[in-house]
């Protein structure tokens, strides 16, 4: 199982504007590729990728259409008051994140 772990809405450290552009590009290229993603997990600021005003919702939709299960941290959604703004996937828990990470054959972490 391949797990895409998104813990930020930027890619890399440094300039946030550049980091957001890099992550948008990464997600577009990943969505267009033949790489199979089984689970996408969004935590911390990664929740901004699955909620209102996301710049990568089209890429996430493409991954979901290819069979990826998209899960967003419920604690994180509540902290940022965005649970009602979830646009794709389901609300998950830390127990689920631990289980997915422990059972994944491969974890991709671009953030």
Burial of 4-32, coded b for 16+ CB within 10 Å and e otherwise, reads bbbbbbbbeeeeeeebbebbbebbeebbe
Average pLDDT score over residue span 11-36: 96
Assigned CATH topology for domain 2-108: Hypothetical Protein Ychn; Chain: A, (3.40.1260)
Rounded Cα–Cα distance for residues 97 and 33 (Å)? 25
| Token output for 3 | 């797990």
Average pLDDT score over residue span 17-28: 97
Three-class SS state of 23: helix
Residue 5 has pLDDT above 90, yes or no: yes
Name the band, by pLDDT with cuts 50, 70 and 90, for residue 111.
confident
Average pLDDT, the chain: 96
| Token output for 53 | 């005003």
**How do residues 43-77 score in pLDDT, each as one tens digit?**
999 999 999 999 999 999 999 999 999 999 999 99
Task: Note the pTM of the prediction, 2 decimals.
Answer: 0.94
């Amino acid at each position: 199982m391949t797990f895409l772990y998104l813990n930020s809405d930027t890619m890399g450290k440094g300039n946030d504007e550049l980091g957001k552009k890099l992550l948008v590009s990464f997600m577009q290229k990943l969505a267009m590729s033949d790489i199979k993603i089984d689970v996408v997990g969004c935590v911390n600021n990664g929740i901004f990728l699955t909620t209102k005003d996301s710049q990568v919702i089209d890429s996430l939709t493409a991954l979901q259409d290819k069979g990826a299960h998209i899960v967003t941290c419920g604690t994180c959604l509540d902290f940022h008051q965005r649970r009602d703004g979830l646009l794709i996937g389901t609300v998950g828990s830390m127990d689920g994140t631990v289980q997915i990470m422990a059972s994944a054959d491969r974890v991709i972490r671009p953030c």
